[in-house]
Amino acid sequence: MFGSEIETVTGEMLIEANEATVEQRGKMNAIEAVVASLHSRYPSNQIVAATFRLQALASLMSKDDLKGLQLRLHGKDHALINEAAFHAAAKCRLVMPPEDATSRDALAFDKDEFIRLAMQYAEPDGSA
């Protein structure tokens, strides 16, 4: 499993997984919330992929240079993540870190590819 690529999921599934973690915050951990919410509609391999992708997205969004993909709500401590970021996280290449990796940040998207995808998903459909 280590060194292998994490399969892609849909942006909608990743948004659902994130909503499950928010709804169950304080009641169960994030992985339990995702599994409980999605197990009847998605295969287990996609649920596992979604949890890894949410972890990598959280790590990436904590970096100062990606704050532009977040939306602040009335100056509160929480941030609303732009939907384009979820769609990019669902499709961006993600590889399991080596087994001897010591950092949780080792599971990470390529930042340039992520930004390119996020910008692509953020573009308006159609033309004027």
- Quick: pLDDT tens for 84-122: 989 999 999 997 776 666 665 578 888 889 989 988 988
Residue 125: its pLDDT value, please? 56
CA–CA gap between residue 33 and residue 116 (Å, rounded): 30
Residue 63 counted as domain residue: yes
Residue 27 counted as domain residue: yes
CA–CA gap between residue 5 and residue 25 (Å, rounded): 29
CA–CA gap between residue 50 and residue 38 (Å, rounded): 10
Q: Is the pLDDT of residue 124 over 60?
A: yes
Segments forming the whole domain that contains residue 77: 11-122
Residue 96 counted as domain residue: yes
Residue 128 counted as domain residue: no
Residue 103 counted as domain residue: yes
**Residue tagged 């004027």 (tokens):** 128
The pLDDT confidence band at residue 24, using thresholds 50, 70 and 90, is confident
Residue 111 counted as domain residue: yes
CA–CA gap between residue 128 and residue 124 (Å, rounded): 10
Residue 32: its pLDDT value, please? 93
Residue 20: its pLDDT value, please? 94
Residue 87 counted as domain residue: yes
**Number of structural domains in the chain:** 1
